Structure 1
């Protein structure tokens, strides 16, 4: 943000106040019920969230710590996205039995597949506990403030009675101005029931990711199992399907534009209340750096995956994960520019200052801190993305932490077992040869994009990408970390337990490893030169952001505030709606099976279509799942304010019936994490008609349909 723009903040008239748009991510205990009913909701807030009797919240779970899922039958049948269940589908896949390519459908409960380590969390209760958590913190500053808050949280949690399968987490809201306690119930026996082939579940893959029109059947099905008393239990063949307090009826009624809809789930992270200067740094510095790193990694992986099936299966989940936010950040940058996010923030800040002049001092300080932090923040973005996407360096980081833990005397048997399990899982889907190429290219980018003062001594030698490929391949061949040389008589990729059998020898060998030494030089330079300054400035920014948030809430009495997303249960709402993202470009709100066939490219990695789906289309064998057009609806868009973590969230109609499965956002509106704009922000959902059509007609799994309550 220029100094001229900053000054203009304080010259704008109060009349240019922020115009609040409906939407937001609302805590279920504090719903904006009036606005929801004004938009068409027919049920009450108590039908959505109630601790005294069954409500919709009893059918919504957090799936494996990241996505959302919902219960759609009285037998614990769970619906989530294909991409949320992707790792589990991949884990059951082999080259000989490729469930990713072929799909999977259990023909009865006995055929459902267990998934060790997978869990789902129910929210039992939500309470505001701000007074208890903030008690005695009024005059404290960091680090004493955090210590006192953590102590108060522990005191509160210890004062609450819970079952062995329950836990309590306490989360800050409004940048620490309020605190809420969540009682959670965790189920650990979760079995794979069904998943379409990725030619349906991932149709369009990376080309269509974050894009509308969309034709992806992004769903998979699991089931929750419980003990004979319907309580959580570890996996056992004696467990029985879970009986929920509430499950969602599934509607196959036609949708029309402007129908009310709401989404219930666990959105991950938003930053809606940043100052203008913070938004500008994301738009001009941080996102472009992240994009550049991932672009190099993805291109290198894609070249190999397209020509080698074994690599494609190994890297399928990882590639999708890397590509997901790469494309999101590209859309975010474009959306922030198109929606004039920085200018809009400047105007809003001007209206706040006109009402409360004390806010000017807060904004002045934030402006200085963000600019002081800028070079360190940029280095942080490049360093963290390079280490994350160069897998061999990421592995070196794990071994670096292992050695530090051993030398500090912290490594116990449990921690060691966890590490070995993590490494075994990682090496299963790792190619040292492929990653040597990725690492070589990322080192060149890092060397060329990073200011010299942030680089290790002599790092200039990595500026040439072509030369790097030979150098890093030689490193990899001589590295135990890559698994291409032995330690304790075996390689780390072949037998983790044997490789770790002589700890002293392993550590000595690691310290001499060329990849390990490269990582150490990068890590220790970063930790010495950039991280302390970045962290110290961020601590000051966070403290001022908390103050700025409080000032916004105290000053803007006309605005109804909701807290930023932080992976806690939220409700967002809006209307079924198409969009006009660019001049002379208009999108309808609904796509159909005909669009799948239009995109069909035989044998293509992204746009192939199963023969049976083509046959169903040609015969028009749609059953009860066609709409008024005579075609099967596939996806639709609405103005619900969603983000990562809302993947798999139920999209519900005015009566609380399931009408869709949230899985993405429209590319032009991905900036909604920072600046929600109803002109561009659209969430994308799989239509329940398409989900049921695939289960019934394509998968011949009517036994699953028979479990559900279908609203026709």
Structure 2
């Protein structure tokens, strides 16, 4: 009887995955075209991806390496999220000219603002090269297999000759069961064209982050520039707007519930096929540790930002970045509990094991390995978050790495250039005295929470945050790393080039720096006691996960498998839908401008509203952007399966027109990275009609609308 129950469950899970008609992050040249058309798509898979003729993929870019953007005009106009462009907008801001607060709209191309280091990467081709990569490795295992695959990858790339302005790399898919070659072109001159003020682009801020209903106009406009031959080039005044192979038409018709949409972008990372034991460790140990550290850092940072305007501007992007995944992990844990993910995964594993005994053995090995790894994993979570959020220690780690590279002869001119760029990026938004408070608190938290055998002897003295503060503050005041102490008359944050001019003298000074010594002790102890063992076990887990992935695909013939996200170009699709996340709670799929006015709190840093937007609303001056309700549609949700990296991705309708801009997920469903649940997992998009309304009526930037192809049917 139990075997029958398991079989019934197995079949029901498989059939449900087919019936949901959503979920999944599909390689664009391997789309499930039949299902997409059944759901309402009118265009073809070749319209979405082609390596030989212009297609929608030629309008989608990896923006800044961590977000997505899309080209919406024949002159390289690029649309992405306000939060994706936030760092660039911040760097153009000052107390005197605060673009974050006031917004910015270029009146012509000459006024567009350059952003050193900002890139837009187009995908040229995606090819399955599995046979070449795994040649000679099939009979090997462990390190021998990994070494053979690395050798094959290196050989393939050495023999592959893209154009001089292109790059190529190979990435594993399906947990290493398949490999794909990806060819790309990266443009390095990307200029800011327009951004609404924070009161629109970040409306709701941290309170509304990950939350539905949403009323955030999370968009910004940039432009990609190229050389006179339309090829990638470093910034130069002589560069011209890029002429894309393809750009997206913009639909002013909009969408309605149950319409088909697909999202095209660069999702960062998912783990949909983990065993139950992995979900359990993440939910009960790793996520709580990460949340705890970030909670402490955000509290200290937020208190200073609320009382000091200069700090608010300097730390705005940093605070948002830290808070983003802090809140996501909280929602993820709640979603895993609500959806009973661990128990459901265990039941599914029992059903798989009943059909394939080898799976039972693999799952038993997983339990053993994850339990072995647990104390190392917990320590790694605290350590990683300490270094991530205590920036003085992060800087000290960079300087320690510099000293190691120099001592071993690996410090090269190109290495130096990258290091100085990284350091400058940290120093530009760094407040050493504020960071001393954060470091004092996080050191105490880490020292108290990680297993004592993994704690350096000296770190035992840092278990009290109040006692830490004067010690750490004095360290910062006398440290070259913090930018407070001087070296040859300069501080590092004011003149990195001069400080690094005499590298041997610099190293001699750094060796006596107490902050450097603390960071080195933490790093070396972590590497000696934790990292090696953690990584060794992780290698075994990864090898087992590869086998488990193959076994799932071989055993569950009724389930449609897609590869986990890995920051490569993907398509996900679904329908415009609301949800019922809790008892007696129903979310509609569309919000409107009136919702902004309902949330409006004058002078509030999260819910203030610009005076001009209030005036437009009161006069009902909505132009052609209102719908049948008489209001301007603002945001909508769909069942498309998105994750980090999909920020800024285009939401495209059945006919291939831009209808929305992906920017978030519904909090109740953020566990979709691990356990997609079609009942509650929803992605959130700015309705393109609201974007057009803001550009037209609020910004009066009609010159930008004229270069778009706007369709109304």
Give the TM-score, by structure 2 length. Answer: 0.97
2:594 is equivalent to residue 594 of structure 1:
yes
Measure, in 2, the Cα distance between the counterparts of 1:140 and 1:404.
35
The Cα shift of 1:46 comes to: 1.3
Alpha-carbon separation, structure 2, partners of 1:396 and 1:228: 43
Deviation at residue 525 of structure 1 after TM alignment: 1.5
Residue in 2 that maps onto 1:515:
515
Residue in structure 1 matched with residue 470 of structure 2 by the alignment: 470
Asked if residue 534 in structure 1 is aligned to residue 534 in structure 2, the reply is: yes
State the alpha-carbon separation in 1 of the partners of residues 3 and 377 from structure 2: 27
In 2 relative to 1, CA 539–54 (structure 1 residues): closer, same or farther, beyond 3 Å? same
1:459–1:232: structure 2 CA closer, same or farther, 3 Å change rule?
Answer: closer
Q: Deviations over 1:685-711 (max 9, x none)?
A: 000010000000000000111111112
Describe the SS at the equivalent of 2:402. Answer: helix
Instruction: Give, in angstroms, the shift of residue 231 of structure 1.
Output: 2.0
**1:412 to partner: Cα distance:** 1.4
User: 1:636 touches 1:684 (CA, 8 Å); kept in 2?
Assistant: yes
Q: Deviations over 1:331-366 (max 9, x none)?
A: 000001111111111111111111111111111001
Shift of 1:45: 1.0
Q: How does 1:31-70 map to 2 (within 5 A)?
A: 31-70=31-70
2:6 to 13, 27, 33: 13
Identify the residue that residue 702 of structure 2 maps to in structure 1. Answer: 702
User: Which secondary structure state, in structure 1, belongs to the residue aligned with residue 695 of structure 2?
Assistant: helix
| Pairwise CA distance, 1:144 | 2.6
Q: How far apart, in 2, do the equivalents of 1:570 and 1:378 lie?
A: 32
Q: Please report how far the alpha carbon of residue 143 of structure 1 lies from its aligned counterpart in structure 2 after TM superposition.
A: 2.4
Within 2, Cα distance between the matches of 1:488 and 1:148?
A: 50
Q: What's 1:229 paired with? A: 229
Output one character per residue of 1:529-551: Cα deviation in whole Å (capped at 9) or x when no partner. Answer: 11121111101000000000010
CA contact (8 A) 1:14 1:350 kept: no
Q: Secondary structure at the match of 1:224?
A: strand
Structure 2 residue 194 is matched with structure 1 residue 203: no
Q: Deviations over 1:650-708 (max 9, x none)?
A: 00111111000000000000000000001110000000010000000000000111111
Contact kept in structure 2, 1:9 and 1:349, CA below 8 Å: no
Displacement of 1:10 in angstroms is 8.7
Deviates more, 1:538-547 or 1:511-520: 511-520
- Size of the aligned set, in residue pairs, is 705
- C-alpha separation in 2, matches of 1:367 and 1:28: 35
Which residue is equivalent to 1:3? Answer: none
Residue 578 (structure 2) aligns with? 578
- What pairs up with 1:363-512 in 2 under 5 angstroms? 363-512=363-512
The residue aligned with 1:140 is: 140
CA separation in 1, counterparts of 2:515 and 2:50? 54
Contact persistence 2:254–2:659 (CA under 8 A): no
Deviations 1:547-574 (A, max 9, x none): 0001011111111111000011111011
Is contact 1:171-1:180 (8 Å) kept? yes
> Equivalences for 1:17-416 in 2 at 5 Å?
17=10, 18-19=13-14, 20=17, 21-22=20-21, 23-416=23-416
- Residue aligned with 1:143, SS: helix
Q: Is contact 1:488-1:505 (8 Å) kept?
A: no
Which ranges in structure 1 are unaligned for 5 or more consecutive residues? Answer: 1-7
Distance of 2:506 and 2:3 partners within structure 1: 62
11-20 or 570-579, which deviates more: 11-20
* Native 8 Å contact 1:62 1:69 kept in 2: yes
How far apart in 1 are the matches of 2:498 and 2:707?
49
Question: C-alpha distance in 1, partners of 2:108/2:497?
Answer: 38
Structure 2 CA distance for aligned equivalents of residues 110 and 506 of structure 1: 42
Residue 133 of structure 1: CA displacement? 0.5
Provide the secondary structure at the position in 2 that maps to 1:374: helix
CA drift of 1:158 comes to 2.8
C-alpha distance in 2 between matches for 1:272 and 1:260: 24
Return the offset for 1:11. 9.6
CA contact (8 A) 1:55 1:246 kept: yes
Cα distance, 1:9 vs. partner?
11
CA deviation profile, 1:65-123 (whole Å, cap 9, x unmatched): 11111111111111000011111111111221111111111101111111222211111
Q: Name the SS of the counterpart of 2:707 in structure 1.
A: coil
Q: Distance in 2 between matches of 1:11 and 1:497?
A: 71
Displacement after TM superposition at 1:458 (Å): 4.0
Q: Deviations over 1:295-338 (max 9, x none)?
A: 00001000001111111111111111111100000000000111
In structure 2, distance between residues paired with 1:299 and 1:408: 41
Once the 2 structures are TM-superposed, how far is the Cα of residue 137 of structure 1 from its aligned partner? 0.4
Aligned partners of 2:193 and 2:221 also within 8 Å? yes
Q: Structure 2 vs 1, CA of residues 9 and 655 (structure 1 numbering), >3 Å: closer, same or farther? A: farther
* Whole-angstrom distance in 2 between the partners of 1:227 and 1:346: 56
Q: Give me the whole-angstrom Cα distance separating, in 2, the residues matched to 1:56 and 1:286.
A: 39
Query: Could you tell me how far apart the structure 2 residues matched to 1:82 and 1:579 are?
Result: 26
Q: Tell me the CA shift for residue 198 of structure 1.
A: 1.0
Structure-1 separation of matches of 2:495 and 2:2: 62
What is the rounded CA distance, in whole Å, between the counterparts of 1:681 and 1:13 in structure 2?
26
Query: How far has the Cα of 1:12 moved from its partner?
Result: 6.0
Give, in whole Å, the separation in 1 of the partners of 2:391 and 2:313. Answer: 17
CA distance in 1, matches of 2:130, 2:24: 21
Structure 2 gap segments, 5+ residues each: none
Secondary structure in 2 matching 1:561: coil
Q: Distance in 1 between matches of 2:648 and 2:127?
A: 25
CA distance in 2, matches of 1:12, 1:439: 54
CA RMSD, aligned part only? 1.4
SS at match of 1:14: helix
- Do the aligned partners of 1:392 and 1:481 also contact (CA within 8 Å) in 2? yes
Separation in 1, partners of 2:654, 2:396: 52
Deviation string 1:487-526 (CA, Å, 9 cap, x unpaired) is 2332212222222233223212212212112212211221
Structure-2 change in CA distance of 1:11 and 1:460 (3 Å): farther
Counterpart Cα distance in 2 of 1:53 and 1:173: 26
- CA–CA separation in structure 2 for the residues paired with 1:207 and 1:124: 39
Larger displacement relative to structure 2 (545-554 or 115-124): 115-124
Distance 2:602 2:544 in 1: 56
In structure 1, distance between residues paired with 2:258 and 2:502: 66
Aligned residues of 2:254 and 2:688 also touching (Cα < 8 A): no
Spell out, residue by residue over 1:24-63, the C-alpha distance to the aligned partner (whole angstroms, 9 max, x if none). Answer: 0000111111111111111111111122322111111111
224-233 or 294-303: which moved more?
A: 224-233
Report the TM-score, using the length of structure 1 for normalisation.
0.97
- Does the CA contact (< 8 Å) of 1:10 and 1:353 recur in 2? no
Take 1:397 and 1:96, find their aligned partners in 2: how far apart are those partners? Answer: 34
Secondary structure of the corresponding residue to residue 530 of structure 1:
helix
Matched position secondary structure for 2:637: strand
